[in-house]
Amino acid sequence: MDRLKDALLDYHERSKHRVNFYAPGPGGLDWATQPDPFRVFHDAPRVGLPLAADTLATRYNDLRCGALPPARAFDLFSLAILFELSLGLSAWKSYGAQRWALRCNPSSGNLHPTESYLLCPALPGLSAGVYHYVSRDHALEHRATVDDPRWTEAFSENGVLVGISSIHWREAWKYGMRAWRYCQHDCGHVIAAVSYAAAALGWQTRLVEAAADDAVADLLGLGRSEDFGEAEREAPDALLWIGNPESRPDLERMTTALEKAQWHGRANRLSSGHVAWPDIDAIHRATHKPRTREATSPDPQQRPSPDTPALDLGFATIARQRRSAVNFDGNTFIGKTAFFSMLACLLVHRDTPPWNALTSAAAVHAALLVHRVDSLEAGLYLLVRNPDALPDIKQSLRPEWLWRKTGPDDLPLYFLLPYDLRAAAKFICCHQDIGADSCFAVGMIARFEMALKQPWRYRHLFWECGMLGQALYLEAEAAGVRATGIGCFFDDEMHALLGVKGHAWQSLYHFTVGGAVDDHRLSACPPYEVQA
């Protein structure tokens, strides 16, 4: 275990951006080897999905308040909506001769390392098996046809599994060593995106936390050398159970049933050449997850009910209009009530998306550098997302912090320091203006020592950060402002600001929310050709 811990710490420290030197990267972009953002499996039978999201009446505000609509039947039509509003394209953008797709899920550098799969029993419109989702075409590729009653029995109740994997090279091509962290953030964003879209269909989502990486790889067909050949491999990330939250599918039975499955398709090669990043291979190995006991969901926590947001829109609209701001105006203020409501939506609530997907208690807290919130003093605040962590976190930060409870009674928000932190936020966000021009910037502070005890939890901490990010993205849209994830930050400068010493707590992701300035040089086109 010490060996794994050392490997983890080695990667964590060397993948930090520092004021005087950034984490090792490629030193420039080799456009000749730019990875294809879309994976396909050639010759796998395809199921085209209907573009059905516009038929969905669910309002975003109901979801964030935990008021899910009646559960839809699991069929092709509903599953098409699930994918369209979580991993589907949301627009094509162009500038001059360049054209690129945006998706409902964000991604560092828009590189989209995450791939997704559907595992299902026979359903109306879909035969049983394993499918790969192609967001570009809004289609499912039938990777494995399973004709074994044990497969169907393994699902036990009404429900399906969504599988998630990552192609690390897609991020490493641009970001080098730190790219592995971004792959994990992106995975967290996807977990949350799936949880919201499933909730909009009345379905609960749970991470199958017990699953070993090897089991996830087997179920998604990721180890099948004959299908990958020279193509870039996918690393197994997670399985999400969408269905009755009290039951779980029998993964061993499914794996056995897959032994006689018929697999289809060959993975496309994404780049003509690759640069090896041994540090990424090393952290991937160090954080390999064995099978563990199924965690029980955390107890429901009291939280203030969020106020209706400024834009009370349908979930489909919010999910598809989500964008990252490239610049903030440096003028916009958000209201105090809207701010508190956003923070309330970051607290774990068992059956409310996206937190219903998590089966462990909150391990990440939000340090808020508040610049422009109406009637709220500028300065440093801390949202303690798990009350059990308060004594420890208090002891681990600067002794001079005020710890003045602020906001609604049941919002665990503390005011630490009155100060204009705009320059500090910009500096910490690798000198990016959006740190200062936002209404507020966030540093996500994780209980890192749990990763040192169980290295696979390092990945889960990043996922939880990504989930917080996805919640903030949607909350910002609903409040009439915009957000941007910040993967580029000086880790130890944030630690110095807070007074964090050692490795008990570490800042793993940053975020900004503010009034966006649009880039009018870009043109936008709809995500999909309208079907006849």
Ligand X SMILES: Cc1cc2nc3c(=O)[nH]c(=O)nc-3n(C[C@H](O)[C@H](O)[C@H](O)COP(=O)(O)O)c2cc1C
Binding residues for ligand X, rule: CB under 6 A, are 102, 106-110, 182, 185-186, 189, 323-324, 432, 484-488
State in angstroms the smallest separation of the CB of 186 from ligand X: 6
Could you tell me if 187 and 295 are in contact, meaning their C-beta atoms sit under 8 angstroms apart?
no
Smaller CB distance to ligand X: residue 44 or 488? 488
Smaller CB distance to ligand X: residue 241 or 328? 328
State in angstroms the smallest separation of the CB of 178 from ligand X: 10
State in angstroms the smallest separation of the CB of 158 from ligand X: 32
Smaller CB distance to ligand X: residue 270 or 483? 483
Could you tell me if 192 and 466 are in contact, meaning their C-beta atoms sit under 8 angstroms apart?
yes
With residue 103 as reference, give the H or E element that holds it. strand 98-103
Closest C-alpha to 267, from 65, 471, 41, 503: 41
State in angstroms the smallest separation of the CB of 157 from ligand X: 33
State in angstroms the smallest separation of the CB of 516 from ligand X: 10
Could you tell me if 413 and 347 are in contact, meaning their C-beta atoms sit under 8 angstroms apart?
no
Give the C-alpha distances (Å, rounded to integers) separating 351 from 62, 64, 248, 348. Answer: 12, 10, 16, 9
State in angstroms the smallest separation of the CB of 192 from ligand X: 11
User: Which 3-state string (H, E, C) describes 479-503?
Assistant: CCCEEEEECCCEHHHHHHHHCCCCC
Task: Extract the tokens encoding 137.
Answer: 């075409």
Burial (CB < 10 A; 0-12, 13-18, 19+), residue 53, is: buried
Sign for the pseudo-dihedral over CA of 460, 463, 467, 469: positive
Smaller CB distance to ligand X: residue 154 or 429? 429
Please state, in angstroms and rounded to a whole number, the distance separating the CA atoms of residues 359 and 355: 8
State in angstroms the smallest separation of the CB of 182 from ligand X: 5
State in angstroms the smallest separation of the CB of 444 from ligand X: 11
Smaller CB distance to ligand X: residue 74 or 490? 490
State in angstroms the smallest separation of the CB of 21 from ligand X: 17
- Please, where are the H alpha helices in 250-376? 251-258, 278-286, 315-321, 336-344
Please state, in angstroms and rounded to a whole number, the distance separating the CA atoms of residues 392 and 54: 47
Smaller CB distance to ligand X: residue 402 or 423? 423
Could you tell me if 493 and 19 are in contact, meaning their C-beta atoms sit under 8 angstroms apart?
yes
Smaller CB distance to ligand X: residue 135 or 204? 135
Smaller CB distance to ligand X: residue 129 or 487? 487
Closest C-alpha to 517, from 230, 383, 324, 346: 324
Smaller CB distance to ligand X: residue 41 or 173? 173
Closest C-alpha to 194, from 330, 380, 354, 336: 354
Quote the strand ranges of 136-254, DSSP E.
139-145, 159-166, 205-207, 235-243
